[in-house]
Each structure stands twice: as structure tokens, then as C-alpha cells.
Amino acid sequence: MRPVNYLADISNTFGVELKTMQVIDRMLVENGLRRKGTGRTIPFPTRREDLLTLLAANLLPEASPMTIAAAVTDWAEMPARGASGERLRERLGKSLLTCLEDLCDEISEDSTVALGTRVDLDKTHRIATIEYEDGFLSFTQGVSRVFGGITIRRITGPSIAEIAHRHKATA
């Protein structure tokens, strides 16, 4: 994938309008979450930038494009507060973004990991969960109060595998 097609690919994958993704990308750049390009050239994203953009695309419409950088930062920095399985308990206290990077590393080593993995963003309760075949990690900033319906956004293992493999090839 060429960097020029990056935002179009993200917008198609997650059903977000290209113009909205362009605003989101600009907000991420302005808030230091993505590198700035020169002229019309968008630099090829790092894995971290790719994961932050993935979070941004999945936090809409609850976060507006103009407030997306703050929302992405809040979610990315959520610490792991619950875990099942000995291997995953070692990750307690790590941020959601760090654990997503760890997941990319695991998928790069063994692509079958993606098949049994998913990430859920419960935007009503402000809880994220990474489910693996052998356990789960849950992330939250603290107490949440629920009024109304529940909004959950699911990011499947293959979406994260695409990021893992894209950056394995460029490493």
C-alpha cells in the first residue's frame, strides 16, 4: 500500500467517509499522534500511528473528528486492569496501545493468533477488551456510569493482522 492510499484504505475498511478520515488524520497530526507530511505527501504510518488511526476510526461517531485526538489518547492510555491466564496477567498495568503493539508482535510471529483474537471497545462503559484464544485483557480508566443503550465496536483479529503484517514487511 502506498501512503497516498492509506486514508482511503482505512475509510473503506471501517466505513468512515474519506473526508472525515482526512480531518481525523489532521487532528492526530496537530496533536502529535501522527507525523506530519510535506506538502500533500502523507508519510507511511508507523505501527503506533496505524493503531492510533484504527482506534480513531472506531471511536466515531461518539467522538467528533474535532475531539478525536483527546478521545484516542484517553483510550490508548487505558491501563489493563483485568486479565485471565498467566501469560496475560503479566500485562496488567500496561496501556491498551502497548498491548495492541504486543498483539501485533505476536501476530507477526504467528499469523494464526489473529484468528482467535478480537478487540471490543465498549464506548458506553468506556471499557476495552482484547480477547485471545487463551484468555482476555480488560482496560478501563475507572468507574463508568451508564445512561441509555450500550455501544460496542468490534475490531477483528484480521484487521489488526493487516497492521502487523504491513509493518513486519517494512521493518
pTM of the model: 0.83
* Residue with cell string 463508568: 144
Mean pLDDT of the 73-88 span:
92
Report which of 154, 155, 95, 145 is spatially closest to residue 124, judged by C-alpha positions: 145
**Helical (H) or strand (E) element with 98:** helix 96-109
Distance from C-alpha of 56 to C-alpha of 67, rounded to nearest angstrom: 10
Q: What is the pLDDT of residues 15-40, one digit of tens each?
A: 889 999 889 988 999 999 999 877 77
